[in-house]
Structure formats: structure tokens, C-alpha cells
Amino acid sequence: MKPALQTHGLGVRFGAFQAVNDVHLSLEPGARQALIGPNGAGKTTLINLLTGVIKPTAGRIEMDGQDITAFTADRRARMGLARTFQINTLFPSLTPLLSVVLAISEREGLGAVWWRPLTRHTALFDEAHALLGRLKLDALADVPVAELAYGKQRLLEIALAMAAKPRILLLDEPAAGVPEDESGELFEAIAELPQDISVLFIEHDMKLVFRFSRRISVLVAGQILTEGTPAEIGVDPRVREVYLGH
């Protein structure tokens, strides 16, 4: 089977600074893959390259074998590439239910949904409830976002990305700022997303990385240092050196 997402010699320079360099990254269908590396390694830049927010200065990106390097971020999103951000992008006064309804209506290109026939509304709300249920947010569907625990807000951001019906989901530090007692639950929900969705996530907490990823790619100074299963990465002396010092 072709990788869901694959890069070939991908790189980007900012002036004289090579932020991402000769990256060959492969995301298999159904992957739960972690992208780890020290601060400034280029992880977010790599996600920005994959989503099309920034253009590479070298290399190619393929989705299901199709070259998407020249495609805009919008076009990639329409093809099923979704992402979340490190920062909270939610509307605090909306409820989770309405947030998801809006995200679904955006996917459907419905614009203002409110004047649609009632049958359309019902389908939209049913889908929104199902999505919230999948992420165990259904009991909080009508609570304003601002009143949700931070871990639940991050979960809602994943629900909004899921509303686009992605085939590939790129999560930039989904647990950033989430207290430790909520982050396990957050990653359990990620692990339980439909198995046909390929997930690549940036995460700093090694306990979460080793518990929830099936593959790990290690980025150091813009380059993939190594890649493998958690068992392989856990005993790789080069990775230990990067994380534990010299």
C-alpha cells in the first residue's frame, strides 16, 4: 500500500538558515506516528510544509502517491489533510456542539447554515453529536467552550479537525498546556480515532510518545536523525544522546 503521506528530500531555507533539510518522512495508512526532537529542530516548520502553509525550497511531498508539492493549503485540506495548532483556536463563547456544526457546515460549503431546511439541520446536528460522542465530549456538548477543562478544549480542537473528514491528521502538540492527569485521556482519544486515519503528532512528553505511538521519527537540526518503533527508538544511543546530553 502507498504511504498516506511521503516526503522526498524535503527542505526549506529561511535566508541562510536551513530549517528543514533533506527530510524523507513516510506516514503509513492508519499510522499513529510521533514526530519528536529538541526545541527548534524544525517540527512545526515540517508540519507547515506538509499542510502547504509554507513552500519548500527543495524536495517533494506526495499524498497517496500523488505529488502535492505545488498544491495550496486549501486544496490539500480538501484532499483530506487536516491539522491542529499548538495554540488554542476555539471561540470561547460557542458551545462544542455549535463549534462542530459550524466546522461541518464549512466542510459542506454550506456557508450560513441557519436558513437551510430543517432536515439539513437534523443531519448536521446528528453528525456533530456523533463526532462529539466519538471524542467523549457528548456530555459537554452544550457547555460554553470557556468553561471546559483545558484538556477538553484540546479534544474539541481535534473534533473540529475531524469534522473535515480527514484521511490524514497532523497534530502540533495536542497536549501542550494540558495538565498531566488529562493528557493521557486526550491521547487515548487520539489512539481510538478511526483506524483508516493516519495521524502524525508532535509531542514532548516521552511517556505519552512511547505509550501512544507505533512509530517515532526523530528530527534534529532540521534532519531526520532516525525513525523506528518505540522499542527501537528507546534504545537508540543517538536519541539518548540528544535527549540526555553528552
Q: In angstroms, rounded to a whole number, what is the distance separating the alpha carbons of residues 175 and 186?
A: 7
CB of 47 to ligand ADP, least distance (A): 8
Which runs of E-coded beta strand occur in 64-167? 66-67, 81-84
Backbone phi, psi, residue 91, to 5°: -90, 115
Q: Under the criterion CB under 6 A, does residue 175 sit at the interface with ligand ADP? A: no
CB of 38 to ligand ADP, least distance (A): 7
Total residues interacting with ligand ADP, rule: CB under 6 A: 11
**Chain centroid offset of residue 52 CA:** 14
Backbone phi, psi, residue 35, to 5°: -115, 110
* CB nearer ligand ADP, residue 14 or residue 91: 14
Interaction pattern, residues 29-68, with ligand ADP; x per rule: CB under 6 A: --------x-xxxxxxx-----------------------
- Short-list 138, 146, 151, 140, CA closest to 93: 146
Q: Under the criterion CB under 6 A, does residue 153 sit at the interface with ligand ADP? A: no
Q: Under the criterion CB under 6 A, does residue 19 sit at the interface with ligand ADP? A: yes
Q: In this structure, what DSSP letter does residue 145 have?
A: G
Q: Under the criterion CB under 6 A, does residue 14 sit at the interface with ligand ADP? A: yes
CB of 218 to ligand ADP, least distance (A): 11
